[in-house]
Each structure stands twice: as C-alpha cells, then as structure tokens.
C-alpha cells in the first residue's frame, strides 16, 4: 500500500474480527508464520512491516528520524483501507509504541490493545525514564562502534532474553501445526541474510532513537476509551525495561498485568501457546 513517503508491505489471513499485529524491532513479520496460522482460525490477522524496513521502503529522503507518530499514522491508514469495525491490536516491544500512539490519536479505529513488554520510555516516571533511555540509546551507540554481533548480544541482555526459554519455545514451534521454522537459539551465532542485516541497521539507527524521542501523556491512554491490557512473558525478569513499562501502563489504565508463556517474542518462541492465550484473553475484552 502506498502512503506518503513509503510503500507499506502487509498481509491479511484468516477470518474473524480484525487483529493487527504491531511487531517489534526486527521488521520481519514472516518469522511469525506459525502464530499467525494459529490466530487465523479465530481472527482476520493483519501483519505489516513498518516503513523503513526492507519490505516497506521509503520513497523519498525522510529528512531525519522516521517518528513512531508517523508509524501510527501508517497503521491508521492501513486499518482505514481495510475497513470494518475497530480493530484488536497486539503490540510487542517497539511495536507497542506504535500501537499506543495509534490508540491515543485514532481511538475510533481501535477497540483493544494488548501491549506485551512495551519499549515505551514515555510510560515511565523520572528518573527511571532517563536511565532506561540512556541504556536504550547505548544499543545504538554499540551498533555504530562495535558492530551488529556485539549489539545483538547487548540487546539480549537488555531485554532479559532467556536462551533456555528460547530453546523450549523452538521445540514448541517445531511441534506446532504447520511445521514452521523454529526460533533461533543463540543470539551470537545467528546467520544473517542481507535483508535481515539491513532491518537490524534500521532498528538501531532509527527505531530505537525515535522511540526515545516519542512523547505521549499516559493519561491520554486512559481517556481514549480504548481497552488496554499490559502483558509480559513469564520468564522476563521484573526489573527489565519491558516489564517496568508494562507495569507502568497497567498503573495508568487499571487492571492486572497479563502473563504469557515464554519471555520476549512469545509469538515466535511459543506460537501455539501464545495464540491460545491471546484468543482466550481477547474473548474477554
């Protein structure tokens, strides 16, 4: 779909209420195929790559960072083009930033947002916000000075990724319907395609710095009329950035923090369990 300044790659599958997946920083919705197949039994699942990633190229010079406000406008355009009732949205990591901005700016397009491990500094009070912003921006600095492999290792530490959990998740994915690709187990030894390397570059040079610059008054979320469910993975340590943001969101909008199986990226590591839990959760929203 052509939007001002970019071409958005998106896919639609399944049947049922509209469910938009606002994914994390990897920019590759293809790696979620097993979970999408499971969810397609209950929902019309919409996946897309945010502008700037390989399959959603910019059509002109951005003139600076591409903001997450721009990503939210892209998501709104996509939902408007697809039509229908207000959408359900599952966001994870940086994708939650887009999902929250979408809900705040266009509440008539969104019914419910499930926000898994938000990487949204604006949810945190000071001085915690500034501390996590420095840690987040340090990943971008590491990419510029030490290269991709070291940055991926640092990212795993920052996100609290449990390699053993990733291994269990890979076995779960292997057993699941469709026999899709399993999750990568060792962050340091992943073999990167040129496309995926390009996507990681965009993550570190644009997506992370743009998230650190994003401003949104959390009170606007509570006033939007949209239902929000903050969520974490059971193996993500509570002191980690995404967990802290999830609990901060729950404090603003009310309600408990929902706990999914696995840790970060449950839709990759535990696709069958994740899809079942999300279906059950959304039935009660």
CB 8 within 8 Å of CB 34: no
Pick the CATH number of 2-178+186-283 from 3.40.50.1820, 3.10.28.10, 3.30.1310.10, 2.102.10.10: 3.40.50.1820
Cα distance between residue 271 and residue 207, in whole Å: 25
Strand order in the sheet with 227-233: 9-14, 44-49, 18-22, 87-92, 110-116, 227-233, 258-260
The full set of domain ranges for the chain reads 2-178+186-283
Instruction: Please report, in tens digits, the pLDDT of each residue of the chain (285 residues total).
Output: 999 999 999 999 999 999 999 998 766 666 788 999 999 999 999 999 999 999 999 998 877 899 999 999 999 999 999 998 999 999 999 999 999 999 999 999 999 999 999 999 999 999 999 999 999 999 999 999 999 999 999 998 988 876 555 555 445 444 444 443 333 334 443 456 888 899 999 999 999 999 999 999 999 999 999 999 999 999 999 999 999 999 999 999 999 999 999 988 899 899 999 999 999 999 887
Pairing mode, strands 87-92 and 110-116: parallel
The Cβ of residue 47 has, within 10 Å, a number of other Cβ atoms equal to 22
């Amino acid at each position: 779909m052509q939007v001002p300044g970019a071409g958005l790659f998106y896919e639609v599958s399944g049947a049922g209420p509209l469910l938009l997946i606002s994914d994390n920083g990897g920019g590759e919705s293809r790696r979620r195929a097993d979970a999408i197949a499971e969810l397609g039994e209950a929902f019309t699942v919409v996946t897309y790559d945010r502008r700037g990633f390989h399959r959603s190229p910019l059509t002109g010079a951005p003139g600076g960072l591409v903001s997450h406000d721009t990503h939210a406008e892209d998501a709104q355009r996509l939902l408007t083009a697809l039509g229908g009732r207000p959408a359900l949205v599952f966001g994870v990591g940086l994708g939650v930033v887009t999902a929250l901005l979408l809900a705040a700016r266009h509440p008539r397009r969104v019914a419910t947002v499930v926000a898994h491990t938000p990487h949204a500094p604006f949810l945190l009070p000071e001085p915690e916000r500034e501390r996590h912003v420095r840690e987040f921006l340090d990943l971008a600095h590491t990419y510029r000075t030490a290269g991709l492999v070291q940055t991926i290792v640092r990212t795993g530490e920052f996100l609290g990724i449990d390699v053993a959990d990733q291994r269990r998740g890979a076995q779960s994915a292997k057993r699941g319907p469709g026999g899709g690709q399993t999750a990568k187990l060792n962050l340091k030894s992943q073999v990167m395609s040129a496309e995926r390397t390009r996507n990681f570059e965009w993550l570190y040079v644009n997506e992370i710095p743009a998230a650190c610059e994003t401003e949104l008054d959390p009170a606007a979320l509570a006033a939007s009329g949209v239902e929000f469910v903050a969520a974490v993975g059971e193996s993500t340590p509570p002191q980690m950035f995404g967990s802290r943001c999830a609990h901060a969101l729950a404090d603003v909008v009310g309600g408990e923090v929902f706990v999914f199986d696995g840790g970060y990226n449950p839709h990759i590591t535990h696709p069958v369990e994740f899809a079942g839990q999300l279906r059950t959760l959304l039935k009660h929203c």
